[in-house]
């Protein structure tokens, strides 16, 4: 592993080759990333969409999605993902920090949670250390992507190890993130995946954002003015927007415009 780290640090071009010299498909990207992380001793990883709210405040629908593993991919077994979000996440101190992080967060499992401790859960699954690496996304308020990396090293040793590799590993993760976004943004954006707004509704709001009046929008889309107003009103209700200006801002933030 030490020779691999040295090779990657000394040859920046190799860092890019791993990511760019492949067929850009969803499965291939995840496989390529898994192979690299395994060489560094990581036991598994996840790539996730996380709603920027504490888990206690999430909707029942979102909790169900997490418990079923719908918004999380990677090499961490599905059974572990589902068990974590079903039984552990609500008691894991991680959820008081992760929605706000902008830089990698190394979690000390010894801190645990309450009730069914996160520490016990991860140890039962042969994971001693974990780090969460947030990636830039379409929003700073509603959702963002992150990588979860899991390792068998004790927490103290892992922190030292991650410090030695993060300078070049985080940029590699960022390149994978960029490619995953290109390949499958629709699959990862929960607002798109759940089809909360129809294509026509999004067209109307896009035209509204461009400053077009209701009458002109109606003429362009062969709709009545009442039909245009209906779509805007429904979208405001879905996203809890007070007016069209706030609605447009929200849809930009969640990647629907």
Q: For 152-206, what is each residue's pLDDT tens digit?
A: 998 889 999 999 999 989 999 998 888 887 776 555 566 665 667 888 998 999 9
CB 109 within 8 A of CB 82: no
- Taking residues 27-56, what's their average pLDDT? 84
Q: Which residue has the higher pLDDT, 136 or 82?
A: 82
The domain locations on the chain are: 2-184, 195-253
End-to-end alpha-carbon separation of the chain, Å? Answer: 44
Structural tokens at position 32: 């390529």
195-253 fold: Arc Repressor Mutant, subunit A (1.10.10)
Determine the Cα–Cα distance for residues 243 and 257; give it in Å rounded to an integer: 17
- pTM of whole model > 0.85? no
Rounded to the nearest 10 degrees, how much is the dihedral formed by the CA atoms of 166, 172, 178, 180?
-110
pLDDT of residue 197: 83
pLDDT band, very low/low/confident/very high, at 23 (cuts 50, 70, 90): low
Tokens of 6: 């040295």
Q: Are 173 and 221 in contact (CB under 8 A)?
A: no
Residues 6 or more apart in contact with residue 154 via CB below 8 angstroms: 128, 129
pLDDT of 150 strictly over 60: yes
Superfamily the domain 2-184 falls into = Transcription factor LuxR-like, autoinducer-binding domain (3.30.450.80)
């Amino acid at each position: 592993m030490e020779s691999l780290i040295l090779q990657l640090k000394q040859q920046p071009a190799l860092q890019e080759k791993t990511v760019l010299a492949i067929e850009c498909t969803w499965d291939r990207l995840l496989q390529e990333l898994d192979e690299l992380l395994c060489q560094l001793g990581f036991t598994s990883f996840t790539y996730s969409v996380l709603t920027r709210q504490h888990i206690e405040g999430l909707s029942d629908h979102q909790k169900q999605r997490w418990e079923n593993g719908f918004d999380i991919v990677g090499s961490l077994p599905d059974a572990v993902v589902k068990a974590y979000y079903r039984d552990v996440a609500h008691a894991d101190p991680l959820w008081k920090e992760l929605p706000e992080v902008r830089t990698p967060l190394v979690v000390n499992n010894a801190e645990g949670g309450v009730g069914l401790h996160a520490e016990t859960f991860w140890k039962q699954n042969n994971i001693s250390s974990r780090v969460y690496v947030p990636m830039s996304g379409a929003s700073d308020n509603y959702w963002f992507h992150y990588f979860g990396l899991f390792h068998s090293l004790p927490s103290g040793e892992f922190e030292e190890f991650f410090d030695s590799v993060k300078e070049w590993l985080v940029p590699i993760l960022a390149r994978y993130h960029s490619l995953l976004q290109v390949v499958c943004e629709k699959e990862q954006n929960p607002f798109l995946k759940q089809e909360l707004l129809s294509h026509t509704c999004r067209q109307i709001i896009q035209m509204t954002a461009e400053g077009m009046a209701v009458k002109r929008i109606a003429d362009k889309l062969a709709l009545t003015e009442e039909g245009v107003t209906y779509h805007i009103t429904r979208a405001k209700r879905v996203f809890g927007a007070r007016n069209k200006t706030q609605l447009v801002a929200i849809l930009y933030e969640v990647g629907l415009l």
